[in-house]
Structures are given as structure tokens and as C-alpha cells.
Chains A and B, each alone.
Chain A
Amino acid sequence: QKEVEQNSGPLSVPEGAIASLNCTYSDRGSQSFFWYRQYSGKSPELIMSIYSNGDKEDGRFTAQLNKASQYVSLLIRDSQPSDSATYLCAVKEYSGGGADGLTFGKGTHLIIQP
């Protein structure tokens, strides 16, 4: 049984600060890791993907992966009120051919306080 764990929050962060979101996963066969942002009433939007250990930066977002610890995180710098949303961590196992769906965590509700 693949499991992806996230702190449900809410996580409250002042505007302009760094928001840190964490995720752990149980399946060591997981090879691909994703962060989705979901606004209330909307579908998930892909914001970051990471496949190798270390950091990956894209604008104000940095994803960090540590496969040995089975841990993936998302940092949001200079947090804005528009970043307030639920952030979903998703993992994918490698089985060749890319035919696997995603296993999602329950999401962390992030609130950026103006």
C-alpha cells in the first residue's frame, strides 16, 4: 500500500516569509515527485516536478528531494496572499512506459496572512 503523508495544516505564514511544506512517502520504488496547488473549488495545478535528489528551483518555488529519507518538500519564497491554497504532494512509481497514475497526499492547507 503506497502512502503519501502530509501535515494537513492549516499552515499560516506571514506575507513575504518563506512557506515550507513537507511530504513523506512509503514506497521506495517511487521515482517521480510532484507538487500541485489546488484552490478551493478548482482542479489541481502542477507547479513543480522533481526526479533527482537535491534542489530544483523555479521562480519563487524550490522543491527538495531526499530519496534516502523518503522525503520531499516545497519552499515558497516571498509568500503572497495568492499562494493561499491547498498543496498536494504526489508520487509516481517507475514501472516503465510511464503508465502509472499518481498517489496523492491529503494536502496541506496554506494560509498567507497579509
Chain B
Amino acid sequence: SAVISQKPSRDICQRGTSLTIQCQVDSQVTMMFWYRQQPGQSLTLIATANQGSEATYESGFVIDKFPISRPNLTFSTLTVSNMSPEDSSIYLCSGQESYNEQFFGPGTRLTVL
């Protein structure tokens, strides 16, 4: 399976600021996704990162808050904008090689003060 890396691995940010998380895959994948895992919770899909076009967001997530880019088949970014303590979470990138199976990056642990 593809190896996925994320940067930064963790960060502590101040309220009202923005953080951009990078996701790099070591081979081309058909699809890339962004998920959030809040403390003690399971994963929630934020959006599908579409190459060269606007991301597809799930209910409850909007582009102004979570802008996503995917300039090519191996790289994507997620920005968490105008952060509040409620945004403290682990943000995970996944890649899908075959039609169905998704593999996850190590995650970015974000704490907002």
C-alpha cells in the first residue's frame, strides 16, 4: 500500500489563527480524503480532495473553515481557519489506491488554546 506522510505531526496554535496541514503520498492514488478524530471519538469525514477542482465537503463542514487543495495525484493540503478550541483534534489524511481500500497517514494532532 501507499505510504502517507503528514506535516506537521502536531502543533499548538492560538485562537483565531490558521494552520495548513500537508499530506504527501509516495505513489499516485485515485482519491484522497480528510478526516477528523476528536478526543475519544471515531473518525468523521471532512471532505474529498479532488485533483484540480474544489473539494467535496460533508455536511457540517464548509470551505471557508476548511479550505482544501489537491494540485496533483500525490499531494493535498487542509487548512483549519480561524481556529477555536473546538477545532482541537487529530486530522487524518487518507489515500485510496484501488476502488475501495483507504490507507491513513499518521495524523496531525492539533491543540488550539
As a 0/1 sequence over residues 34 to 51 of chain B, the CB contacts with chain A under 8 angstroms (1 = contact) are 010000011111001000
Asked if A80 is an interface residue, CB under 8 A from chain B, the answer is no
Distance A100 CA – B101 CA, assembled complex (angstroms): 11
Chain A interface size band reads 20 to 34
Chain A residues 78-110 with CB under 8 Å of chain B are: 88, 90, 92, 98-107
* CB <8 Å contact, A101 and B105: no
* CB <8 Å contact, A98 and B42: no
Asked if B11 is an interface residue, CB under 8 A from chain A, the answer is no
* CB <8 Å contact, A101 and B33: yes
* CB <8 Å contact, B41 and A106: yes
* CB <8 Å contact, A43 and B106: yes
> Taking chain A's interface residues, is the majority helix, strand, or loop, or is none over half, making it mixed?
loop
Distance A54 CA – B43 CA, assembled complex (angstroms): 27
* CB <8 Å contact, B105 and A43: yes
* CB <8 Å contact, A32 and B100: yes
Chain B interface size band reads 20 to 34
Asked if A34 is an interface residue, CB under 8 A from chain B, the answer is yes
* CB <8 Å contact, B42 and A101: no
As a 0/1 sequence over residues 95 to 113 of chain B, the CB contacts with chain A under 8 angstroms (1 = contact) are 0100111111111000000
B residues engaging A (CB < 8 A)?
1, 30-31, 33, 35, 41-45, 48, 56, 58, 92, 94, 96, 99-107
Chosen A-B contacts, 25 in total, with CB atoms closer than 8 Å, are: A32-B100, A34-B101, A34-B102, A42-B106, A43-B92, A43-B106, A43-B107, A46-B101, A46-B103, A49-B100, A51-B100, A88-B42, A90-B43, A98-B96, A99-B31, A99-B48, A99-B56, A100-B48, A101-B45, A101-B48, A102-B33, A104-B44, A105-B42, A106-B42, A107-B42
